[in-house]
Amino acid sequence: MPAVEIIAIGNELLLGDVLDTNTHWLCRQFSGRGGRVQRVAIVPDEPGAIAEALEAARRRRPDLIVLTGGLGPTSDDKTLFSVAQALGRPLELNERALAMVQATYERLAAHGLVRDAALTEERRKMACLPRGAEPLHNPVGAAPGVLLREGETAVVCLPGVPAELKGIFATSLQPLLSELFGGRVFLERVLVTDCGDESLLAPVVNRVAADHPQVYVKSRAQAYSEGVRLRITLSLSGEDVQAVQAAIEAADRDLTASLAAVGIVVLERVEGG
Amino acid sequence: MPAVEIIAIGNELLLGDVLDTNTHWLCRQFSGRGGRVQRVAIVPDEPGAIAEALEAARRRRPDLIVLTGGLGPTSDDKTLFSVAQALGRPLELNERALAMVQATYERLAAHGLVRDAALTEERRKMACLPRGAEPLHNPVGAAPGVLLREGETAVVCLPGVPAELKGIFATSLQPLLSELFGGRVFLERVLVTDCGDESLLAPVVNRVAADHPQVYVKSRAQAYSEGVRLRITLSLSGEDVQAVQAAIEAADRDLTASLAAVGIVVLERVEGG
């Protein structure tokens, strides 16, 4: 199962000014492709903090590290500078990235959204990438995404603006995603019970989890208009769709029967969470 | 400025099943009290991962480390076990915590919300704390919060259910918050401009930030019905309210005049973000 780490960068996240929805969205995307996000770090716009988080992530040898935020034109956007420093690569003007930035400002100027398309120092900054980087076309904003290869790990930098992050993810990042995640599937099924007391449900869930070690079994309370109800999530990823389905079915049958034995009814099943 | 680290624990966060709103809420609370959240980690319900994150946070010597999630009765809730292991303390039944758990289940049973108030193994688990821990009364749910002192660092474990986390924060955690944050204030002012082009605004913002190094200056794009507008946040915390106010005022005056010089108008000021 490909392992992923996410590093979200931005003082505004740590100040509580902005809720980081990018990480949640990315986690769903990677889980849905059969990947496993093993760690997330949220760090300030400080080269030391960014480099430390990148180093810590690399030591765990994931297949992919995604950094979000800090790619903009202002000097408080320090991601590429920090990544270059941490990886010991010089930061240099990338001609392909510059062409992308220029095309964006020409388009924006043609629509009257910026005053002119001149490549000022601030705009050129977005095209200064660590040596060896591949720029990723940004269909929404000006700052290109960045792809680097460090040994077996792909390092990807995406903008913090959600629409730009999603735009790159859905277009220029697809070849890397296919390379890393190939044909893996992820299945998830949620069982909604009539029980609101986790301590009653716990022994059953624990026994089923132990007997189906390949399936991830997790219970969680959720408020409904009728009161709190416990939901149990069964999930598994793998390369063989039929084997994954069969394992989920087996855990579901066992769980449902064991819950019934202590008087708990499964009210509803939801596929895909 | 008191330094804080947050460790959010839960496979459901990394799977993208649940959006972690606790961290954002906590960041706002600590910023609002004049603290600084210097790092956030999101880790799975695995003792090794939790211990590693706790060790990494402790090396940066914050005043406070808050761990959220994983305090429930099921065996997949591993936070206290992991914290005890990481800090080299035995996990033992805490009589005060047990009394809290018992009182909660008696209340729930009296209201017919659980079948009985028996202290099963799962319910007793929530009262097994690392040695030397102080339980924090949970006014909303069953699992008490936990306060530990490790040298100069306070380590606090809070439930992952947002209402329970907020309930403990607003009640039994207040003495620690007063001890750590005392009378510090945090002021924030947002200037909404008529400009949508960050590369035009950037040189002005950079110059003002350099001339007012004590004030945190950050620009960010926000979508409005009239199109994208750049917002500039000025913020500062300190012990002297008047000095903090004066520094924000000075930065605002300088910024407004410098923006006007390049034709950018400040449309609106919002205090407190």
Smallest Cβ–Cβ distance between B74 and the set A36, A202, A233 belongs to A202
Q: Which of A191, A197, A222 to mutate to test the interface with B (most CBs of B within 10 A)?
A: A197
A173 and A197 in a single domain? The answer is no
Crossing angle of helices B79-86 and B47-59, in 10° steps, is 50
Name the minimum distance, in Å, from the CA of A161 to any CA of chain B. 8
Highest mean pLDDT among A191-195, A234-238, B97-101, B192-196: B97-101
Could you give the dihedral angle defined by the CA atoms of residues A44, A47, A48 and A52, in that order, rounded to the nearest 10 degrees?
80
All residues of chain B having their beta carbon less than 8 Å from the beta carbon of residue A49 are 38-39
Provide Rg for chain A, Cα atoms: 22
Average pLDDT estimate for B204-220: 92
B25 and B149 in a single domain? The answer is yes
> CA-CA distance, A105 to A91, in Å (whole number)?
22
> With an 8 Å Cβ cutoff, are A115 and B200 in contact?
yes
Statement: residue B42 has pLDDT above 60: yes
| A236 in contact with chain B, both atoms CB, cutoff 8 A | no
Q: Tell me which DSSP letter residue A144 carries.
A: P
| B57 in contact with chain A, both atoms CB, cutoff 8 A | no
Q: Which of A185-189, B204-208, B217-221, B223-227 has the lowest mean pLDDT?
A: B223-227
3-state secondary structure labels for all residues of A30-76: HHHCCCEEEEEEEECCCHHHHHHHHHHHHHCCCCEEEEECCCCCCCC
> With an 8 Å Cβ cutoff, are A39 and B36 in contact?
no
Name the minimum distance, in Å, from the CA of A133 to any CA of chain B. 23
Q: Which H helix or E strand runs over B129? A: strand B128-130
| A193 in contact with chain B, both atoms CB, cutoff 8 A | no
B174 and B213 in a single domain? The answer is no
3-state secondary structure labels for all residues of B66-83: EEECCCCCCCCCCHHHHH
Average pLDDT estimate for A21-37: 93
A147 and A196 in a single domain? The answer is no
Task: Give the pair of three-digit tokens for residue A57.
Answer: 């992530």
Smallest Cβ–Cβ distance between A27 and the set B16, B121, B197 belongs to B16
The predicted pLDDT at position B273 comes to 45
In chain B, residues 116-135 whose CB comes closer than 8 Å to chain A:
120-123
DSSP SS3 for A131 = coil
| B92 in contact with chain A, both atoms CB, cutoff 8 A | no
Statement: residue B128 has pLDDT above 70: yes
Amino acid at B196: G
> CA-CA distance, B122 to B197, in Å (whole number)?
57
CATH of the domain at A252: 3.30.70.1120
Q: Which of A10-14, A221-225, A247-251 has the lowest mean pLDDT?
A: A221-225
Residue ending a domain, among B140, B162, B181, is B181
Residue ending a domain, among B130, B151, B181, is B181
CB atoms within 10 A of CB A269: 12
pLDDT digits (tens, 9 = 90+) for A187-233: 888 999 988 888 889 999 999 999 999 999 988 877 766 677 889 99
> With an 8 Å Cβ cutoff, are A23 and B31 in contact?
no
> With an 8 Å Cβ cutoff, are A74 and B198 in contact?
yes
| A265 in contact with chain B, both atoms CB, cutoff 8 A | no
pLDDT digits (tens, 9 = 90+) for B58-86: 999 999 999 999 998 888 889 999 999 99
Higher pLDDT, B76 or B126: B126
pLDDT digits (tens, 9 = 90+) for A137-158: 998 889 999 999 999 999 999 9
Phi, psi of A205 (to 5 degrees): -60, -45
B197 and B172 in a single domain? The answer is no
Q: How far apart are the first and last CA of chain A?
A: 20
Q: What is the ipTM of this complex?
A: 0.78
Residue ending a domain, among A181, A207, A225, is A181
CATH of the domain at A84: 3.40.980.10
A175 and A204 in a single domain? The answer is no
B50 and B141 in a single domain? The answer is yes
> CA-CA distance, B143 to A99, in Å (whole number)?
56
Smallest Cβ–Cβ distance between B273 and the set A17, A20, A43 belongs to A17
Q: Tell me which DSSP letter residue A120 carries.
A: -
- CA distances (Å), A57 to each of A38, A42, A52, A191, B48, in order? 9, 12, 9, 34, 15
B135 and B205 in a single domain? The answer is no
Q: What is the largest CA-CA distance in chain B?
A: 72
The predicted pLDDT at position B272 comes to 65
> With an 8 Å Cβ cutoff, are B20 and A21 in contact?
no
Statement: residue A273 has pLDDT above 50: no
> Using an 8 Å Cβ cutoff, are A58 and A148 in contact?
no
B191 and B175 in a single domain? The answer is no
Name the minimum distance, in Å, from the CA of B209 to any CA of chain A. 9
All residues of chain A having their beta carbon less than 8 Å from the beta carbon of residue B49 are 38-39
pLDDT digits (tens, 9 = 90+) for A99-132: 999 999 998 888 888 888 999 999 999 999 999 9
B176 and B189 in a single domain? The answer is no
Residue among B33, B30, B4 at smallest CA distance from B184: B33
Domain count, chain B: 2
pLDDT digits (tens, 9 = 90+) for B2-39: 999 999 999 999 999 899 999 999 999 999 888 999 99
Position B225 confidence tier, pLDDT thresholds 50, 70, 90: low
A170 and A222 in a single domain? The answer is no
The predicted pLDDT at position B54 comes to 98
B231 and B153 in a single domain? The answer is no
Domain with B27, as residue range(s), is 3-181
Q: Which residue has the tokens 């209402």?
A: B163
In the sheet that holds B266-271, the strands lie side by side as B216-224, B227-238, B185-193, B266-271
> CA-CA distance, B121 to B166, in Å (whole number)?
27
Name the minimum distance, in Å, from the CA of A69 to any CA of chain B. 11
> CA-CA distance, A49 to A90, in Å (whole number)?
19
| A235 in contact with chain B, both atoms CB, cutoff 8 A | yes
Smallest Cβ–Cβ distance between B39 and the set A43, A197, A218 belongs to A43
| A249 in contact with chain B, both atoms CB, cutoff 8 A | no
- Per DSSP, the residues of B54-119 read HHHHHHT--SEEEEES--SSSTT--HHHHHHHHTT--EEE-HHHHHHHHHHHHHHHHTTSSS----
